[in-house]
A and B are shown apart, each in its own frame.
Chain A
Amino acid sequence: MKAFVLSIIALVLITVGANQILMQSGFSSAVAGSSSDNVRLSD
């Protein structure tokens, strides 16, 4: 039972942690596939 509870805690920590790291590193295809270079954002 102890091992199972520990695995659930680890599961939640790894899942949330991975999401935070990936969000901050800008991994998404939307971020990787776009650029503001040479784009006129305002007149």
Chain B
Amino acid sequence: MLRLLSLLALMWSLAVPAIAQEGPVDPRVSTGGAQTLEDILRRQEGLAIDDSFRSGLTGNPDAAAATVDQLGTLGGVSDSDLWRAFRYGSADISTQARNPAAKTLIQDGGMWWLKYREGPLLTIAIYLLGGTLVLLALFYMIRGRIRIHGEKTGRTMIRFKTFERFGHWLLATSFIALGITGLISLFGRKVLIPAFGHEAFSSLAIISKWVHNNISWAFVVALVIIFVAWAVHNLPDRTDLRWLAKAGGLFGGEHPPAKKFNAGQKLIFWSVIVLGGSISLSGLSLLFPFEFNLFGHTFSTLNSWGVPGLFGVQDLPYPLEPQEEMQYAQLWHALVSLVLTAIILAHIYLGSVGMEGAFDAMGKGEVEEQWAREHHSIWAQEVLDSKTFGKESN
């Protein structure tokens, strides 16, 4: 009997710890409450981790040893607690700086932005712009210059008035200047500093920044001018469907009928208006730091509509630190600008070396009548019917 009781007591003593282990286990027991290897790996992969085990660990002065006691702390909070409070934005900070971001002493999300800006963003820029140039070169080699097929008449038609061409060239020159100076800023640290040194790049960066910040207003003015001048001619209609179905005759065959602007030109026009407008808005946000917060409210609205869930991703971050607003604005500004630059490269190609007679439209404002008949047959007929001919060429 005694042996049986001893055996039962032994089994009980072994069973209790086993039962205890079946309950919820703190994964950070092994690290004394600090982050685990799994946390570090998840963070390195860019996955979300539950930071509550340390974000809330910012000290409790009421529970701390009294400062007057022997061996008491100098304050109620340890250095580690204080740094965590800085990092997670719970520290009570007072400052005389009036900048909205002045109270954010540590901005955790900034590392993601910095890594993206120094890595993937540059890769995207190289592939997008380089890829576009390669494709255009290939297209030129395969298709060659798009010629005027019919016999030239020697007569010209007024294609664009001086005001229209003024708006176009103001937009074009400001965009090229903005593109070059923007790329100088984007590739400065990774490419230009290693190539030319800090001092040379410093001068270049100062000039680039001045030009980029101030020439941007000319871009905005030109954007308004071309919108007023051409929006009505770029409204989509049925002729665009036929034009798109034949790819505009780019790959051979007859040029489909088109009005003043064909479907391809309309796509470029609305790309310039929409993307250029978005670039202007994000640029304004960057030019006046912390004054125009575009992203926090947008993310909150998209989250409330459940948009991220439709794509199977987590909710977008909200609320954003003031610096995060600027970081998202910078990324958006750069990415949209790169997309628009790729589109404009194609536009420049077709408006110059890619198509015979196309440059005259913006260069002189007048085009060969046969060119107009082939590329914008409906518009050409309307102009001819109204007898508004340009001057006869020699």
Interface positions of A (Cβ within 8 A of B): 1-4, 6-8, 10-11, 14-16, 18-19, 22, 27, 29, 32-35, 37-39
Contact = CB atoms under 8 A, between A and B. Distances in A.
B34 interface: no
B97 A34 contact: yes
B218 A15 contact: yes
B96 A19 contact: no
B314 interface: no
Given A6-B162, A29-B289, A32-B288, 6 more contacts: A3-B165, A7-B166, A7-B170, A11-B177, A33-B102, A39-B96
Interface of B: 96-99, 102, 162-163, 165-170, 172-174, 177, 210-211, 213-215, 217-218, 221-222, 287-291, 363-365
Contacts of A29: 99, 288-290
9 contacts: A3-B365, A4-B165, A6-B166, A7-B168, A8-B169, A8-B173, A14-B215, A15-B211, A33-B99
A33 B102 CA distance: 8
B98 A4 contact: no
Q: Majority SS of interface residues in chain B? A: helix
Contact of B214 (A3, A19, A39): A19
B99 A7 contact: no
Nearest to B363: A1
Nearest to B101: A33
Given A14-B221, A33-B102, A39-B96, A7 B289 contact: no
Contact of B98 (A8, A11, A14, A32): A32
A34 B97 CA distance: 5
A26 to B, nearest CB: 11
A11 B170 contact: yes
